[in-house]
Amino acid sequence: MPDDSQIRAFYAGKNFFITGGTGFVGLCLIEKILRCMPDVGKIYLLMRPKKGKEISERLQEFPKNPVFEKLLESHTTDVFQKLIPIAGDVGEENLGLNAQDRQTLVDNVNVVIHSAATLDFQESLRPTVNINLLGTRRIMELCKEARNLKVMIHVSSAYVNSFLTEAHEKVYEAPEDPEKVISLVATLTDEALLDIEPKLLKSHPNTYTFTKHLAEHEVVKCADLFPCTIVRPTMIVASWKEPLPGWTCSKVGPQGFLMGAAKGVVRRLPLAVENIADYIPVDVVINQLLVAGWEAAKSSSGLTVYHCSSSTCKPFCWSMLDNIVNGMLHKYPLKSAVWYPHLKFVPSLLMFRISAIFVHFFPALLLDTMLRFTGGKPILIRLHKNVWNSLNRLERFIFSEWKFYNPNTLELCKKLNQTDKELFFIDISTIYWVEYFRTLHLGVRRYLNREKESSLPAARSKDMVLLTFHVIWQLLILGLLWYLFACLTGLTLSQSAWIAPIIYILFSYL
What is the per-residue pLDDT for 368? Answer: 82
What pLDDT band is residue 506 in, cutting at 50, 70 and 90? Answer: confident
The 10s digit of each residue's pLDDT in 326-361 is 999 999 999 999 999 999 999 988 888 988 888 888
The 10s digit of each residue's pLDDT in 43-86 is 999 998 777 778 888 888 899 999 999 999 998 889 999 999 99
Distance CA 429, CA 113 (A): 26
Percentage, residues of the chain above pLDDT 70: 100
Average pLDDT over residues 303-330: 95
Distance CA 157, CA 175 (A): 16
The 10s digit of each residue's pLDDT in 191-231 is 999 999 999 999 899 999 999 999 999 999 999 999 999 99
User: 122 or 425, which is more confident?
Assistant: 425
Does the structure show a pLDDT above 60 at 389? yes
What is the per-residue pLDDT for 161? Answer: 93
Contact assessment for residue 267 and residue 360, using Cβ atoms and an 8 Å cutoff = yes
Does the structure show a pLDDT above 90 at 371? no
Task: Please list, in sequence order, all residues whose beta carbon lies within 8 angstroms of the beta carbon of residue 487, skipping any fewer than 6 positions away.
Answer: none
Does the structure show a pLDDT above 70 at 447? yes
What is the per-residue pLDDT for 2? Answer: 60
Average pLDDT over residues 164-192: 94
224: burial class by Cβ within 10 Å (0-12, 13-18, 19+)?
exposed
Say whether 334 sits in a helix, a strand or coil: coil
Does the structure show a pLDDT above 90 at 118? no
Percentage, residues of the chain above pLDDT 90: 74
Task: Please list, in sequence order, all residues whose beta carbon lies within 8 angstroms of the beta carbon of residue 4, skipping any fewer than 6 positions away.
Answer: 419
In order of 256, 398, 418, 443, the CA distances from 334 in angstroms are 15, 27, 41, 12
Rounded to the nearest integer, the mean pLDDT of the chain is: 92
What pLDDT band is residue 365 in, cutting at 50, 70 and 90? Answer: confident
What pLDDT band is residue 1 in, cutting at 50, 70 and 90? Answer: very low
Distance CA 377, CA 380 (A): 9
Average pLDDT over residues 414-443: 96
